[in-house]
Chain A
Amino acid sequence: QLQLQESGPRLVKPSETLSLTCIVSGDSMSSSNYQWGWIRQPPGKGLEWIAFIYYSGSAYYNPSLKSRVTISVDPSKNQFSLKLTSVTAADRAVYYCARGRESYENLKGFQRAHYYYGMEVWGQGTTVTVSS
């Protein structure tokens, strides 16, 4: 059974870089159908998607955070990571890693149908505080 576990410092100083790792256990990361992503939730607020990455290394970012975010993957270690630079108090949140799933079906005429199955598996989340 797939499990995700976030790890990293719980306290980051303002203007420094937040670094988190998601350790994947119970399954291999090496499928092109999986999206390995980060989502955050400020205290008492809703969910904000940050980024996701495929095991190939192709990454997609939320434009609102793209200038400060880097997501990376290491399939050999079964983990992926998030770096968020120049943090402020506004970056205080619970950070979740999650696995999304999609698939493609070949149709006639070189067309493909795309299917999305949602973010099926989530880590328990880790609370990150920004304070000096």
Chain B
Amino acid sequence: EIVLTQSPGTLSLSPGERATLSCRASESVTSIYLAWYQQKPGQAPRLLIYGTSSRATGIPDRFSGSGSGTDFTLTISRVEPEDFAVYYCQQYGSPITFGQGTRLEIK
């Protein structure tokens, strides 16, 4: 099982700042199999990024993904008030696994 470790656990930023969220895998992940989700309190997760760097339908271009091998990054170029949430990375392997999440909170 591939373990995904996200860092930091909590990221405190002000609106307008740049957010960099990390996802490190215990073994190499094929880039097309790495996705990112956003979850707000009381809501289901929402797909943001698939294939490491492709934005899902309707996702603003301030969200971008990058990485390869065991290190992947989700970047929010300028954090908007609605972006404060928990973010999860996910790999499509056997089994599918999620990271433990990074909470983006208002500073």
Contacts and interface: CB of A to CB of B under 8 A. Distances in A.
A associates with B: yes
Interface of A: 46-49, 52, 60-64, 96, 98, 100, 114-120, 122-125
* Chain A interface mostly: strand
Contacts of A98: 44
Contact of A46 (B35, B49, B95, B99): B99
B102 to A, nearest CB: 10
B100 interface: yes
A48 B90 CA distance: 10
Contacts, number: 63
A52 B95 CA distance: 11
Given A118-B50, A118-B56, A120-B47, 7 more contacts: A49-B97, A61-B95, A62-B96, A116-B32, A118-B49, A119-B47, A120-B56
B33 A116 contact: yes
Given A116-B51, A118-B90, A48 B56 contact: no
A108 B50 CA distance: 25
Interface of B: 1, 32-33, 35, 37, 43-47, 49-51, 56-57, 88, 90, 92, 94-101
A64 B49 CA distance: 27
Contact of B50 (A60, A116, A122, A123): A116
24 contacts: A46-B100, A46-B101, A47-B37, A47-B45, A47-B88, A47-B101, A60-B95, A61-B95, A62-B95, A63-B95, A96-B44, A114-B32, A116-B32, A116-B35, A116-B51, A116-B92, A118-B35, A118-B37, A118-B50, A118-B56, A119-B37, A122-B45, A124-B44, A125-B44
